[in-house]
């Protein structure tokens, strides 16, 4: 008889947990997945997928406006928020079904409930204990909100995706990924949007030109950005909210949303109690094989707070399964992982920002800013920005940055080039596709004049 009930028990059916479980199942392991909420996790149910559907839905507003310059007349176009949310929900239901099916098809047992680690090989679900040779913790993260008086009135991206009505006036606290993405959605659909950021620029950690230019473009679209500003309190006033700012000013909003980061979901999971080491942010500390401080307990995805992106969690899950259930040891290379912010216009980057590159390299910078062809006729005052950060000594392209339509689609291709260690000379030797915006990445010939790094 087998020593354990399962070879693998996974806590959490999000991107990382599902990929690891289904591959392990496919390789013949006896696997159970425990999920307390919906199969698919943050990305599919509360993040990337519903958010992108709403971004696509909202972006039509700009397409309609732009079409006029091309001879279209469009009268009477209206948007029904509730219809869009219902359509999105239907798609999520379909996706949840797909996730369950692919797990079952791989022979994985699905267990609904909250899994808590009871010891190095035991998980308890609603009072029932089950054992496994390995436990994979893939319980993700959860939004954190600032602690000001009235914070209970503040919604997060979880609720923003399910609002019954689109708010007329919304204040969004934060200037990271989620804040700018939701600002774009609500603004395009007609809400008055104010981003409240505690620093001077959006998107901390991104390249300085990207940060500055995205701010300009959002402001051109009518999004207000209150910089160096914090909310002191929020108070309910009838159907609306009174928002007090640090300097004592009051504003009225229909909705206040916080997009102020996410924290790993490690509380009440039985981890610390069972000697699983957590870092100061509460994330599970793992080695390159995704192994925690307890030999039989592993973790992948946002709960480890490494690079909190879906494709990273998927790859961590895949490599965990390949290593331990298919005898093909694999570890993930965290360099040059491309990412995108689905703001309007979108941002996408791969590699180092100018500031990061300057720490270890002498750099040459290539920057272009131009009006995309579409806007010559649409008349829209929107400018695309592309930037290459190149190592002076080796000619290697260290970073590619873009703010503008289709940036994520374009940067995905360039990520392959950076993974291959492409040089600027190889970019130059690449013949562009005309007329596209993407061709600018291979036709930037003159570096920008030397400039002082920003403090």
For residues 202 and 215, give the distance between their C-alpha atoms in angstroms, rounded to a whole number.
Answer: 7
Q: Which is nearer to ligand NDP, 55 or 321 (CB)?
A: 55
| Rounded least distance, CB 291 to ligand NDP, Å | 23
Q: Which is nearer to ligand NDP, 40 or 174 (CB)?
A: 174
CB 385 within 8 A of CB 213: yes
Q: Are 243 and 252 in contact (CB under 8 A)?
A: yes
Strand (E) positions, 296-432? 297-299, 339-341, 347-351, 363-371, 383-391, 397-403
Nearer to ligand NDP, 102 or 263 (CB): 263
Q: Rounded to the nearest whole angstrom, what is the least distance from the CB of residue 211 to ligand NDP in the complex?
A: 10
The beta-carbon contacts of 54-60 under 8 Å, at least 24 apart in sequence, are 54/84, 54/88, 54/161, 54/185, 55/181, 55/184, 55/185, 55/342, 55/344, 57/84, 57/88, 57/185, 57/189, 58/184, 58/185, 58/186, 58/187, 58/188, 58/189, 58/344, 59/188, 59/344
Would you say 23 or 286 has its CB closer to ligand NDP? Answer: 286
Question: Concatenated DSSP letters for 64-84?
Answer: HHHHGGGT----S----HHHH
What distance in Å separates the CA atoms of residue 104 and residue 48, rounded to the nearest whole number?
24
CA torsion, points 288, 293, 294, 299, in degrees to nearest 10? -50
Nearer to ligand NDP, 204 or 392 (CB): 204
User: Shortest Cβ distance from residue 339 to ligand NDP (Å)?
Assistant: 5
Cα–Cα distance, 374 to 372 (Å, whole number):
5
- Whole-angstrom Cα distance, residue 184 to residue 379? 20
Tell me the C-alpha to C-alpha distance, in Å, between residue 444 and each of 365, 368, 387, 389, 452: 10, 7, 9, 12, 21
In the complex, least distance from residue 145 CB atom to ligand NDP, rounded to whole angstroms? 8
140 versus 270: smaller Cβ distance to ligand NDP: 140
Q: Which residue has the tokens 């094989």?
A: 289
Active-site annotation, residues: 434
Could you tell me the smallest distance in angstroms from the CB atom of residue 177 to ligand NDP?
Answer: 4
The site for ligand NDP (CB under 6 A) is made up of 146, 173-179, 181, 197-199, 204, 230, 259-262, 308-309, 339-342
Cis peptide before 72 (omega within 30 of 0): no
In angstroms, the CA 88 to CA 85 distance is 5
How far apart are alpha carbons 288 and 425 in whole angstroms? 34
Residue 195 CB, nearest approach to ligand NDP (Å): 9
Q: Are 389 and 363 in contact (CB under 8 A)?
A: yes
Residue nearest to ligand NDP (CB): 176
Q: Are 9 and 32 in contact (CB under 8 A)?
A: yes
CB of 417 to ligand NDP, least distance (A): 21
CB of 355 to ligand NDP, least distance (A): 14
């Amino acid at each position: 008889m087998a020593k354990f009930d399962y070879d693998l028990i996974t806590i959490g059916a999000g991107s990382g947990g599902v990929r690891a479980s289904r591959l392990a199942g496919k390789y013949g392991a006896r696997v159970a997945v425990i999920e307390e909420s919906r199969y698919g996790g943050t990305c599919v149910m509360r993040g990337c997928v519903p958010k992108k559907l709403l971004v696509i839905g909202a972006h039509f507003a700009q397409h309609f406006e732009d079409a006029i310059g091309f001879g279209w007349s469009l009268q009477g176009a209206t948007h029904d928020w509730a219809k869009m949310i219902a359509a999105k929900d239907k798609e999520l239901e379909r996706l949840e079904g797909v996730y369950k099916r692919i797990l079952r098809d791989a022979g994985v047992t699905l267990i609904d409930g909250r899994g808590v680690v009871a010891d190095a090989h035991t998980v308890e679900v609603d009072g029932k204990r089950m054992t496994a040779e390995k436990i994979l913790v893939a319980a993700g993260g959860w939004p954190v909100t600032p602690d000001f008086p009235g914070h209970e009135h503040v919604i997060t991206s979880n609720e923003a995706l399910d609002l019954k009505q689109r708010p007329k006036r919304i204040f969004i606290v934060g200037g990271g990924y989620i804040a700018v993405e939701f600002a774009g959605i609500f603004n395009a659909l007609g809400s008055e949007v104010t981003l409240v950021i505690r620093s001077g620029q959006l998107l901390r950690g991104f390249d300085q030109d990207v940060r500055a230019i995205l701010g300009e473009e959002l402001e051109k679209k009518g999004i207000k950005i209150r910089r160096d500003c914090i909310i002191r309190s929020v108070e309910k006033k009838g159907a609306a909210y009174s928002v007090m700012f640090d300097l004592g000013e009051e504003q009225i909003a229909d909705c206040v949303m916080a997009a102020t980061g996410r924290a790993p979901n490690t509380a009440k999971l039985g981890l610390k109690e069972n000697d699983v080491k957590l870092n100061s942010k509460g994330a599970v500390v793992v080695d390159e094989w995704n192994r925690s401080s307890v030999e039989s307990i592993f973790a992948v995805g946002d709960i480890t707070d490494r690079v909190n992106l879906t494709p990273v969690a998927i790859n961590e899950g895949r490599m965990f399964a390949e290593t331990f259930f298919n005898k093909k040891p694999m570890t993930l290379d965290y360099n040059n992982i491309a990412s995108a912010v689905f703001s309007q216009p979108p941002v996408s980057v791969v590699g180092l920002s100018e500031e990061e590159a300057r720490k270890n390299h002498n750099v040459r910078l290539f920057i272009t800013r131009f009006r995309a062809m579409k806007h010559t006729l649409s008349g829209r005052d929107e400018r695309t920005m592309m930037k290459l950060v190149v190592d002076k000594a080796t000619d290697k392209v260290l970073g590619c940055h873009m703010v503008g339509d289709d940036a994520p689609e374009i940067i995905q291709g360039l990520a392959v080039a950076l993974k291959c260690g492409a040089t600027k000379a190889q970019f130059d030797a690449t013949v562009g596709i005309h007329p596209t915006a993407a061709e600018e990445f291979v036709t930037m010939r003159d570096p920008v004049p030397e400039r002082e790094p920003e403090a």
